[in-house]
Chain A
Amino acid sequence: MPELIETPIHPAAGPWDLPEFVSEDQLPSRQGDRVIQYREALREAMAEEMRRDKRVYLIGEEVAQYNGAYKISQGMLEEFGPKRIIDSPISESGFAGMSIAAAMYGLRPIVEFMSWSFSLVAADPILNNAAKMLYMSGGQWGCPIVFRGNDGAGGQLGSTHSWCVEGLFANVPGMKMVIPSCPYDAKGLLKTAIRDPDPVFFLESERMLGDRAHVPAEEYYIPFGQAAKLREGDACTLVSFGRPVNFCLEAARRLAEDGIECDVLDMRTIRPLDIESIAASVQRTGRVVVVDQSWPFGSVASEVMAQVCEHCFDWLDAPPARVNTADVPTPYAKGLEQAYLPNPDRIVAAVENIVQG
């Protein structure tokens, strides 16, 4: 009879070098004057990991000679050469599937989707192969791979190009989902994603690529499954992830002017989900609004609300509420698109509604 696996990391992953994680207060400071863009933070994360480990390569459309459709990989071809920064034709199912096998074989691919909207034509490899390989092979092969790209609406791109895949894909066990809301987290989380032995779906936002903030030059790793508390207050908990975290902060500032102080939690990763931090907050505030840039039906917001009900039922002073995108295909016209998206106005209204009852 075979024995139980005793190691913390599954042996299918081979000898694994997870980074040393430190607690939030030991991470390098978020304050400073090394101000760079979100896209540069992503690039820095990839380049640092590629310097460290030759098994890591980047593949995607226009990532090499064009310097990245969104200039995320600018200059990387020059540093790492065409064998590691690889221009792929428009063939998502092909290059995603190809890289999944390379990950099984022992490489550490980073697969860039120009947009997660285009990952839908690669749904079979990323969901059926990457996420299930370890299980279906009975623990023989894992799939240490990062899929990353733009997620979410907001540039008047119309229905086909505005996908928020978090609700759709987070449903599938076997993968991890990461969604940074700021440059600092983008670097620290992407580095962790590349080092993690499981398939990671890394959701960026085209709307945020130009956002500028201090990002430490040094290497740091942000652990998965630990929310960041960005603001404190006793009236209501605001839970969000990715770009709408910024709308929550804006809403919280405005609410504070009216004396309504909110906790703002940036989940940073959807799977794993730091429900403990959410529960601790909701058990104090008694109220929660979840803000999610995908559709409401069967969304991450629904999941968070369900878990809040499971963990905090006795503490709730009002029904949990959510702000999602409108439940329609993404419209093109500017005004319609703005009304479609979660925004500070809608968040303020949702909080006022449950706080004032």
Chain B
Amino acid sequence: MAKTAISSKRLSDQLPNQVLIDWLRSMQLIREFESRTMQAYQQAKIGGFCHVYTGQEACAVGTLACVNDDDPVVLAYRDHGHALARKMTPEACMAEMFGKTTGCAKGKGGSMHMFDRPHWLFGGHGIVGAQTPLGTGLAFAAKYEREVLGQGLDGSEAKKKVSLCYLGDGALNQGAFHEAQNLAGLFSLPVIYIVENNGYSMGTAIQRGTTMPDDLCLKAAGYGIDAIQIDGMDIRNLYDHFKPFADACRAEQKPGFVDLKTYRYQGHSLSDPQKYRTKDEVDQWKERDSIAALLHHLMTERACVSEEDWKNMTGDIRQQVREAVDLADKAPDPDVATELYSDVYANPQKGLSPSCDYNHGLKNPLL
């Protein structure tokens, strides 16, 4: 691959090619993964509610690229993309949706509840807004660790951390979020609320759901929280702006709020007829597709990815995701005898239930 020397003040331009190529791979992995998710859903291999991330890939990949591997992260229910961007294996993620014992939550969580402890992923959360006090709490705990314990809980050196809490624009209207922001502002907790503003909560366009829809930062100002609006379709731009913002929240141990403009290409869930928006609108956003934009940059301005490289990359990813689907398909269903009544209590005791004695089941495959 050709090397390039770009002189620019843009932060992202100072990153080595390989970093951006990894972003491209990560975004493409999510896109491919989600198209296989939709397929598997149509084939009824995935049940329940299923919300895909197609179109928003740059948001998860770009923001997570700005923090450390041991910064805590918590998500809403549209969570497959973040899980993959955070390096959960596609097998564990797909198997979870297939309800298999090899899934990240052994098939007990489902599409909306992706947890990955080794990667500091504190779950996808199905109740709109419920993850926002949790995001505040992760920041609280990290700060407590440093200030009260004087060291990490595992005995490691204390670090300044920042927690990332993702939410949709619909969650802006949920009471829990306002309490979460107030506490974060009041206690100066290092949490960044990342509003993935895709313009809709189900069928409700943002201007029908919230005040000041064009300048959500005003809402955060109400809690004394620094806020920025960022175009979330252009990952380089996202990095340019989010990286210094996240660094400041970490350094100063204070909260932040990001209005990240994005768009979902698919329906709200896989059972949404999408009567509330026009095909034209969808097409206009697709013209600004984040993967296409980054690919273009890497092929032309940086000239570090060739057509051939891209073909190989997409081929590899297709293969990787196909294998994940195959593995999920072939993996065993949870065994009712060990799994139904396990993981309910960490300390199961006699008399907790009239219908059963709780037990411990299988070790989580990620641990």
**CB-defined contacts of A11 to chain B, threshold 8 Å:** 363, 367
Q: Using C-beta atoms within 8 Å of the partner chain, give the interface range for chain A.
A: 35 or more
**CB-defined contacts of B351 to chain A, threshold 8 Å:** 225, 271-276
Q: Does B127 contact A (CB under 8 A)?
A: yes
Whether A134 contacts B347 by the Cβ 8 Å rule is no
How many residue pairs at the A-B interface have CB separations less than 8 Å?
230
Whether A101 contacts B149 by the Cβ 8 Å rule is no
For chain A residues 265-312, which have a beta carbon within 8 Å of chain B? 271-276, 303, 306-307, 310
Q: In this complex, what residue of B is CB-closest to A90?
A: B179
Whether A84 contacts B148 in the complex (CB less than 8 A), given A134-B345, A136-B109, comes out as yes
Whether A174 contacts B344 by the Cβ 8 Å rule is yes
Q: Does A157 contact B (CB under 8 A)?
A: no
**CB-defined contacts of A141 to chain B, threshold 8 Å:** 115, 117, 122-123
Whether A97 contacts B115 by the Cβ 8 Å rule is no
Whether A98 contacts B360 by the Cβ 8 Å rule is no
A97 to B116 Cα, complex, angstroms:
20
A25 to B147 Cα, complex, angstroms:
42
For chain B residues 174-223, which have a beta carbon within 8 Å of chain A? 175-176, 179-180, 182-183, 186
Contact of A94 among B107, B116, B176 (CB under 8 A): B176
**CB-defined contacts of A100 to chain B, threshold 8 Å:** 133-134, 137
Which of B8-16, B41-49, B98-106, B317-325 participates in binding chain A? B98-106
Q: Does B315 contact A (CB under 8 A)?
A: no
Whether B137 contacts A99 by the Cβ 8 Å rule is yes
**CB-defined contacts of A97 to chain B, threshold 8 Å:** 130, 132-134, 136-137, 176, 179-180
Q: In this complex, what residue of B is CB-closest to A121?
A: B175
Whether B72 contacts A105 by the Cβ 8 Å rule is yes
Whether A135 contacts B108 by the Cβ 8 Å rule is yes
Q: Does B282 contact A (CB under 8 A)?
A: no
**CB-defined contacts of B353 to chain A, threshold 8 Å:** 173, 271
Contact of A101 among B104, B137, B186, B367 (CB under 8 A): B137
Q: In this complex, what residue of B is CB-closest to A4?
A: B362
A63 to B109 Cα, complex, angstroms:
36
Q: Does A140 contact B (CB under 8 A)?
A: yes
Q: In this complex, what residue of B is CB-closest to A224?
A: B349
A83 to B187 Cα, complex, angstroms:
10
Q: Does A349 contact B (CB under 8 A)?
A: no
A106 to B353 Cα, complex, angstroms:
27
A9 to B140 Cα, complex, angstroms:
26
Whether B346 contacts A10 by the Cβ 8 Å rule is yes
Whether A138 contacts B343 by the Cβ 8 Å rule is yes
**CB-defined contacts of A275 to chain B, threshold 8 Å:** 351, 354
Whether B179 contacts A91 by the Cβ 8 Å rule is yes
Q: Does A31 contact B (CB under 8 A)?
A: no
**CB-defined contacts of A197 to chain B, threshold 8 Å:** 346-347
**CB-defined contacts of B116 to chain A, threshold 8 Å:** 140
Whether A9 contacts B133 by the Cβ 8 Å rule is no
Whether A139 contacts B363 in the complex (CB less than 8 A), given A101-B74, A102-B141, comes out as yes
A129 to B126 Cα, complex, angstroms:
10
Taken residue by residue from 112 to 124, chain A's Cβ proximity to chain B (1 for < 8 Å, 0 otherwise) reads as 0000000000001
A124 to B338 Cα, complex, angstroms:
28
Whether A124 contacts B130 by the Cβ 8 Å rule is yes
Q: Does A57 contact B (CB under 8 A)?
A: yes
Contacts A4-B363, A107-B141, A275-B351 known; 9 new A-B pairs at CB < 8 A: A5-B362, A10-B343, A12-B343, A89-B183, A100-B134, A137-B115, A137-B123, A141-B122, A224-B349
What is A's interface to B at a CB cutoff of 8 Å? 1-13, 16, 18, 54-55, 57, 83-84, 88-89, 91, 93-102, 104-107, 124-125, 128-129, 133-142, 144, 173-174, 176, 196-198, 224-225, 271-276, 303, 306-307, 310
Q: Jot down 28 A-B pairs with beta carbons below 8 A, ordered by A.
A: A4-B360, A4-B362, A6-B360, A10-B345, A12-B346, A13-B347, A89-B186, A93-B175, A95-B183, A98-B180, A98-B183, A101-B134, A102-B138, A107-B141, A125-B134, A128-B127, A135-B343, A137-B108, A137-B343, A138-B364, A142-B346, A173-B352, A196-B347, A198-B347, A224-B349, A271-B352, A271-B353, A276-B350
Across the A-B interface, the 9 shortest Cβ-Cβ residue pairs: A97-B133, A101-B137, A94-B179, A138-B105, A272-B351, A105-B141, A98-B137, A138-B106, A5-B360
